[in-house]
Amino acid sequence: MKSIRTMALLGVGVTALAATAPALSQDQVILRLLPYHTDAMVENYNPNNPTGPQQRMRDFAYEPLWIDNIWHPGENEEALAVSWEIGEDLKSITYKLREGVKWSDGEDFNADDVVFSYEYAKAHPDYPMGIDVFNGETGNVTGAEKIDDYTVRFTLNEPDALARYGLNGLYPLPEHVWKDVEDPKNFANLDVVATGPWTKPANFSRNGHDLCRNELSRYNDENAIDCLRFPQMNGNEQTVAALSAGDLDWLGDGLTDPDVTFLPQSEFNNYWLPAGSDVNLQLNTTRAPFDNLEFRKAMSVAIDRDTLLEIATFGLTTETKYPIGTGEMYNTWYDPEALEPYTWLMQYDPDKAMELLDAAGFVDADNDGWRDNPDGTPIAFGISMPSGWTDWVNTGQTVAENLQDIGINASLKTMDQGAWFDAAPRGDFDVYVMWTNSGPTPYNQYSPMFNPRLMVEGQIDFQAMHQMQIPEVEAALDVFKGSADEATQRAALTDIHKAVAENLPVISLFANPVWYEYSTRRFTGWVTEEDQRFRPQVHDGTRERVWHALSLKPIEGAQF
C-alpha cells in the first residue's frame, strides 16, 4: 500500500508541474480554424491534395484567378485576375491579370505562371488542379495563350458560356518553383511560395500547424491576423467542445440540438445555418417499380416533409418548395409561375398517394399486406444509408415509415460508410438519400445529374444515380451553356425545371443547412444573419473564406 501512496503523490506532483507549463509565445494574433477533420496532421502543403492540405492552403496561401461572390454576384470579386472577357463565339476567355503582385519569395507574378499552370495540368492528368483540360474524350479547355505579360487567353473546344466559372477557380502555381517538380501528387511542398495573405508554415506537429503572415502580400496592411492555426481534431463532440473552451474560433461541423447542446456551453458560442443545397432521394429508375412515373409521384406525395424538417433533422433544415431537385440556394433563378402546377407533389397527402398507386395498378395482388408491381411481382426495397449519419438515418426511417403507411414495403438499409460510398458507382442500390452539388449556377447541379457519361455502370456519379436520360434536359443544358444572355439562360433553366418536375427522376426532400459556427471570444467582424456579405463557410470550395478571415478584427484585451 505504501508504494501506491508514493505513486499517487508522484502523479499529483507531476500533474501540478504540467499545469504550469508555459505555452508557445503568444503575442501574435492567431485565428484558430478547422476546415476538415483528421486524425493526425501531415506535413504537406500541396494546394491540390484533396485529402486535407488543399483545405488549408487554398484561398489562404494560394489565390485563385477570381473569387465568385455567390450571394452577391458582381461585388468585389477580383483576385489574381482583375477582369475577364468571353469571346464572341463563346470559345475563348481572356483574363487580364493583376499587376504588381509578387510571390512570397520576391519573384513577380505574371502570365507565364498562368500559362505554365495550364500546361502543367495537361502534363499531369492525375494531379487534380481543377482545370477541365481537354484530353481527347472529356474536358473543354484546349489551350492557354500568353497575349502579353498580364493577359492570358484560354481557348475551348466547344462553346461554353459557363467555362469561366471553372477557370475562375484556377489557383496558379509559381512557374519558377514547380517547373522542377516531377511528381506533383507526392510532392509535399514544404517551402510554400504563394501570393496570399498567409504563406509561412510554422510550428508543425501531429497536433496541427500554423500558417503565418506573408509580408509581401498586397493584403498585408489590412491583415490583422498574424497566423492561422489549423489544429488536428476529429469527431463532432470534440470540435464543438473545443469551440466552447476557446480552442477554436471558426468551425463548420454538423450540430445536434444546438440550442440545448451548443449555445449554453459558452456565452461566445454562435451559429448560423443559411440554406444550402438540396437533399434528394435518388431512385434507381432502371429497376421496377421506380421505372413507373406514377409510382414516383406517389412516393413524393406520401412523404411527410414537415416531420422530416422538424424532427428527423432537428429543425435545422429548410423546406424546398418545388420538386425540381434543387433548393432555396438558387431561388433567384426560379420562375414561380411556371412551377406552380407542380407544388402539389411536395404536399403530404397519403390518400392521394394511395389513389395514384391504385390507379396505376400497384395493388396487393398476393394479399401479404404489401403492394405489388402491376405484373404481380412483390415490391420490397431498402433506402441505403451510411450508419453514422444520424440526421440522414432519421430521415430515411421517417421516409420508410411514410411509405409503409401507404402499403409499400420500404425499409432502411444501413451500412458502413465505406460500403455506402462504394455501392453507388456500381449501381448496386434501390434508393439513396443524396446531397446535391453546390456551385455558382444551377448548371453545376443539373449537369452532372443528367450527363449520360456519368450513368455508366462502374462510374456512376452520385448525382446521376437515378440513371434517367432526359434529352430535353440535355438540350436545355447545352442552350444554357451556349449562351451568354441571361434571359436565354433563365428560359433554358425553366425548361429544365419543368422536365424534372414532370419526370421526377429524383424526389426533393429538404435543403441542407450550411454549417457555420463561430466564437466571439477573440474576434469581431463575423458574417451573421443580419450581415450577409458573403458565404461564411470555413471549408475549401468557398473561395470567399479568405475575405471572411481578412475582415476579422481582434477584440481589445483578448488572450491569444
The footprint of another protein on residues 41-70 (CB under 8 A) is 42, 44, 49-52
Give me the least distance between CB of 218 and another protein, in Å please: 32
**Options 414, 436, 441, 467; binder of another protein; rule CB under 8 A:** 414
Enumerate residues 336-355 that contact another protein by CB under 8 A: none
Enumerate residues 230-249 that contact another protein by CB under 8 A: 231-235, 237-238, 241-242, 245, 247
Enumerate residues 21-40 that contact another protein by CB under 8 A: 21, 23-24, 38-40
Give me the least distance between CB of 209 and another protein, in Å please: 10
**Options 142, 155, 387, 409; binder of another protein; rule CB under 8 A:** 387
CA proximity to 111, closest of 152, 80, 63: 152
Give me the least distance between CB of 211 and another protein, in Å please: 15
Enumerate residues 258-277 that contact another protein by CB under 8 A: 260-261
CA distance 72 to 277: 17
CA proximity to 53, closest of 186, 215, 244, 239: 186
Give me the least distance between CB of 390 and another protein, in Å please: 4
CA distance 246 to 290: 50
User: Residue 501 or residue 509: which is nearer to another protein going by CB?
Assistant: 509
User: Among 76-84, 143-151, 158-166, 391-399, which window interacts with another protein (CB under 8 A)?
Assistant: 391-399
Spatial neighbors of 32 by CB under 8 A, at least 6 apart, are 228, 229, 231, 247, 248, 249, 250
Binding mask 89-128 for another protein (x = CB under 8 A): ------------------------------------xx-x
Grid cell 427522376 is found at 505
Binding mask 295-334 for another protein (x = CB under 8 A): ----------------xx----------------------
Q: What would the 3-class secondary structure string for 248-279 be?
A: CCEECCCCCCHHHHCHHHCCCEEECCCEEEEE
Give me the least distance between CB of 415 and another protein, in Å please: 5
**Options 164, 296, 413, 522; binder of another protein; rule CB under 8 A:** 413
What are the DSSP calls for 7-41, one per residue? HHHHHHHHHHHHHT---S---S-EEEEESS--SS-
**Options 270, 397, 483, 520; binder of another protein; rule CB under 8 A:** 397
For the record, the C-alpha cell of 354 comes out as 394511395
User: Residue 21 or residue 487: which is nearer to another protein going by CB?
Assistant: 21
1 counts as binding another protein under rule CB under 8 A: yes
CB 509, CB 239: distance < 8 Å: no
CA proximity to 299, closest of 356, 343, 371: 356
C-alpha 425 chain-centroid distance: 19
CB 233, CB 242: distance < 8 Å: yes
407 counts as binding another protein under rule CB under 8 A: no
User: Residue 294 or residue 461: which is nearer to another protein going by CB?
Assistant: 461
CA distance 49 to 64: 16
Grid cell 404481380 is found at 376
289 cis-preceded (ω within 30 degrees of 0): yes
DSSP code of 443? H
Enumerate residues 128-187 that contact another protein by CB under 8 A: 128, 132, 135-139, 185-186
